Amino acid sequence: MLRFERELITEWRRLDLPAEAAIVLLAVSGGADSMSLLIAADELKKAKKLDLRLVAAHFNHGLRGEESDADEAFVREICSERKIELAVGHARSKPTSNVEQAARIERYEFLTRTAENLKASIVLTAHTIDDQAETFLLNLIRGSGLDGLSGMRPARNLSNGDDNLKLVRPLLRWAHRAHTEAYCHEIGIDFRSDTMNEDESFTRVRVRKILLPLLRDFNPKIVERLAETARLLCHEIGPAQEVAAEALKLADLKELSEPELGKLLRSWLAVNRGNRRQIELKHIDALRRLINSRKSGKTVELPGGSNVVKHAGQLVFKKNNIEKEPPDN
Amino acid sequence: MLRFERELITEWRRLDLPAEAAIVLLAVSGGADSMSLLIAADELKKAKKLDLRLVAAHFNHGLRGEESDADEAFVREICSERKIELAVGHARSKPTSNVEQAARIERYEFLTRTAENLKASIVLTAHTIDDQAETFLLNLIRGSGLDGLSGMRPARNLSNGDDNLKLVRPLLRWAHRAHTEAYCHEIGIDFRSDTMNEDESFTRVRVRKILLPLLRDFNPKIVERLAETARLLCHEIGPAQEVAAEALKLADLKELSEPELGKLLRSWLAVNRGNRRQIELKHIDALRRLINSRKSGKTVELPGGSNVVKHAGQLVFKKNNIEKEPPDN
């Protein structure tokens, strides 16, 4: 067994993932991260370390024309050569705004639908510790508050409240992008490079190509340090507290200390919206101002179209029915 | 009144500092930050916004030879011109190792002693929001855990447990270094520049001169965002929990979840050491390993000379009596 495969099976056990009799869907873009995860999992099957039904899932967003189709063809070819089952999905229409986020939502809808059809219990994605560090820095720069800094979790429910389908990231805690590329070279598997990953008009690309190398001059282990800080925050903040989803009485809120109020508001939004994504400091601060303002009928708009209204001595959450939050960072 | 003075008096009130009948000691190095605070406070006295006994305190570390003496002469001259009381202290001997930290300890001892002699109730330092952001980044890079990231507080007790002498940083939440320099120019007061602030062999200087300008390209408000994140963490983590200072039973510790154990250990160390400074992830991780190791009699060394020993089914804290932690970042 190669080292990358040994590390993967070790993490597989640490995450308490089933070694047999399970159906596992694996999201594959064709890049080094997902190809390494796919091939290593397949090698572990061949080595009898895993005895699972492993299905690759590729979603063709069609955003990069011929390049997207070549990615699909590449994934089809590898899966066919190695006799790995493959499900392929295609975007129905091109998003016109917020392209990256819209694409992510569509991709996760495809993964969820496909997993449900296959009766899979686990969806794997190939996010690495580098992705975690980049996400941390992006949220730090943006000022997303502590929730944003707590990063991706190695395992969580894919849909809210559904315990039967897990999203698991078995590379998140240990694998660097350099490891996934080295493993692909070592085992003689090609991978695709997304030209968007080179486009420095994307903030994430500049974080990866400019900011992280500079930080590495300060501390060669910076990626591990940032991922560890995210993990600590995740532990410290914990999941959203249970708070009543109904309206909050202003009189009660005014009794709270500043930090207590912030915590309560974040939890209340999380429960009402189904998640905390995209809730930034400015939204919490806007709610604080709303609470202290003298006028009734005022509104704070939240990302995704929902909003909070001050009415009759209460804060009332109003959900926008078409709101769909990306399940991922 | 100039804008800098207006902002200072506003913050003075927000911090609930006395406007009259108090004795306030102000640490002055001669740099732009402390000169701006000294002069603005003196101007507020002249404008009858403050009616306090204001005493400047300068400590000559003697680390930079003639430059140090010129700093002292400069502070003496300004205070004499403006009829501001001044206390000057001199280092007794040059530290041979860990110079920066040793100098800070000596300076704070001088400030505490002088404040006690004068019966002052407040010691002011001129740390700015830029200092806060730099400290945050330094600790993030080093991997100091969440305590280190929670940064400096605008007001706290100068000595542990002594409520009668506060250390207050009235520039910390709003003033940028550029503001302090601009105010000095505006009011026609010179200031000294520490050559150490230009020496890129210091990590802090590289954070200031290389890392922060790059981060500002990502977000022009990065300093405010980092300071705000530190403030949120400070609220979220809060002061050290009350935990018994005596030995911890291993059997009890093994009942705890990973995050609970981490929290408890950090609080326990804080209570026993008097503070959490310099406690990094690696120390908590070492204690976790100590708890799970099979051998008795093993020791984990902590910064400052104290240590934790595993003995007779317990973790025992052993204080080094010569341990002295810097009260500041």
For residue range A48-72, list pLDDT tens digits in order. Answer: 999 999 999 999 988 778 889 999 9
Helix (H) or strand (E) holding B173: none
Confidence at residue B246, expressed as pLDDT on a 0 to 100 scale = 61
Classify B164 as helix, strand or coil.
coil
**Under 8 Å CB-to-CB from A109, ≥6 apart: which residues?**
none
Give the CA-trace dihedral at A44, A49, A54, A58, to 10 degrees. -30
Which of 241-300 (B) contact A at CB < 8 A?
258-259, 262-263, 281
Question: In the predicted model, what is the mean pLDDT of chain B?
Answer: 85
For residue A252, pLDDT over 80 is answered with: no
Average per-residue pLDDT in chain A? Answer: 85
Please answer yes or no on whether B141 and A215 come within 8 Å at the CB atom.
yes
pLDDT tens, residue by residue, B60-87: 988 778 889 999 999 999 999 999 999 9
Q: Give B-chain residues touching A206 at CB under 8 angstroms.
A: 218
Q: CA nearest A197: which of A37, A36, A64, A12? A: A64
Position B326 confidence tier, pLDDT thresholds 50, 70, 90: very low
Strands A314-318 and A248-249: antiparallel
The per-residue pLDDT for range B21-33, each reduced to its tens digit, is 999 999 999 999 9
Instruction: Specify the pLDDT at position B119.
Output: 95
Q: What are phi and psi of B40, to 5 degrees?
A: -65, -40
State yes or no: ipTM above 0.90.
Answer: no
Q: What is the pLDDT of residues A190-200, one digit of tens each?
A: 999 877 777 77
Is the backbone of residue A98 left (phi > 0), alpha (psi -120 to 50) or beta? left
Whether A226 shows a pLDDT value over 80: the answer reads: yes
Q: Is the pLDDT of residue B317 over 70?
A: yes
Measured over the CA atoms of residue A12, residue A16, residue A17 and residue A20, the dihedral's sign is: positive
B191-212 burial by CB neighbour count: b if 16+ within 10 A, else e? bbeeeeeeeeeebbebbbeebb
Position B309 pLDDT exceeds 90: no
- Decide which of A155 and B307 is more confident: A155
Contact B214, A214 (CB under 8 A): yes
Task: Report residue A243's pLDDT band, with 50, 70 and 90 as the boundaries.
Answer: very low
Which tens digit of pLDDT belongs to each residue from A83-123?
999 999 998 777 666 677 777 878 888 999 999 999 999 99
Which residues of chain B neighbour A215 with C-beta distances below 8 Å? 141, 211
Confirm if A61 and A103 have CB atoms less than 8 A apart. yes
> Is B201 near chain A, with CB under 8 Å?
no
To the nearest whole Å, the CA of A188 is away from the closest chain B CA by: 36
- DSSP E strands in B61-164: the ranges are 85-90, 122-124, 155-157
CB half-sphere exposure, B57, CA atoms < 13 A: 25
In this complex, the residue of B146, B214, B226 whose CB is nearest that of residue A233 is B146
**Cα separation of A62 and A92, whole Å?**
9
Give the number of other Cβ atoms within 10 Å of residue A290's Cβ.
18
Q: What is the mean pLDDT of residues B93-101?
A: 69
Specify the DSSP class assigned to residue A240: P
A165-195 per-residue burial string, b: 16 or more CB within 10 A, e: under 16: bbbbbbbbbbbbbebbbbbbeeeebebbeee
How do strand B166-168 and strand B122-124 relate by DSSP bridges?
A: parallel
| Predicted pLDDT of residue B98 | 66
Whether the pLDDT of residue B324 is over 60: the answer is: no
Query: Is the Cβ of B146 closer than 8 Å to some Cβ of chain A?
Result: yes
Q: Could you report how far apart the first and last alpha carbons of chain B are, in Å?
A: 32
Could you tell me where the beta strands, DSSP code E, fall in chain A?
20-27, 51-60, 85-90, 122-124, 155-157, 166-168, 248-249, 299-301, 307-311, 314-318
pLDDT value, residue A249: 76
Which pLDDT belongs to residue A179? 96
Cβ–Cβ of A236/B259 closer than 8 Å?
Answer: yes
Q: Which residues of A touch B149 (CB under 8 A)?
A: 229
pLDDT tens, position by position, B214-226 = 999 999 999 999 9
Q: How many Å apart are CA A79 and CA A87, to the nearest integer?
A: 10
Q: What is the pLDDT of residue A188?
A: 96
User: What would the pLDDT profile of B120-141 be if each residue is shown by its tens digit?
Assistant: 999 999 999 999 999 999 999 9
| pLDDT(A149) > 50 | yes
Token reading at A298: 């005022």
Tens of pLDDT along B30-61? 999 999 999 999 999 999 999 999 999 999 98
The pLDDT assigned to B42 comes to 97
Percent of chain A with pLDDT over 70: 90
pLDDT for the residue B12: 97
Top-confidence residue, A294 or A186: A186
Predicted pLDDT of residue A84:
97
Residue B181 class from Cβ within 10 Å (0-12 exposed, 13-18 middle, 19+ buried)?
middle
Taking an 8 Å cut-off on Cβ atoms, the answer to whether A142 and B281 are in contact is no
**pLDDT value for B224:** 95
B205 in contact with A at a CB cutoff of 8 Å?
A: no
> A220: which DSSP letter?
T
CA distance B258 to B263: 9
pLDDT of the residue at B172: 96
pLDDT at A327 over 90: no
Q: Identify the pLDDT of residue A242.
A: 35
**Percent share of chain A, pLDDT over 90:** 51
The whole-number average pLDDT for the span A37-48 is: 97
What tokens does B3 get?
């804008």
Closest-CA residue of A relative to B148 is A229
SS3 of residue A16 by DSSP? coil
Residue A180 has pLDDT above 50, yes or no: yes
Torsion of CA A20, A25, A29, A34, to 10 degrees: -20
Q: Do A229 and B149 touch (CB under 8 A)?
A: yes
* Residue B217 vs residues A201, B169, B214: alpha-carbon distances, Å: 13, 28, 5
What is the predicted pLDDT for the residue at B160?
Answer: 63
Q: Do B232 and A140 touch (CB under 8 A)?
A: no
Question: Rounded distance, CA B24 to CA B95, Å?
Answer: 29
Helix (H, G, I), strand (E, B), or coil: what is residue B35? helix
Which residue carries 């001169």 as its tokens? B209
- What SS3 class is residue A183? helix
Question: Is the pLDDT at B271 greater than 70, yes or no?
Answer: no
Alpha-carbon distance of A151 to A142, in angstroms, equals 14
In this prediction, residues B293-308 reach a mean pLDDT of 80
Is residue A157 within 8 Å of A167, Cβ to Cβ? yes
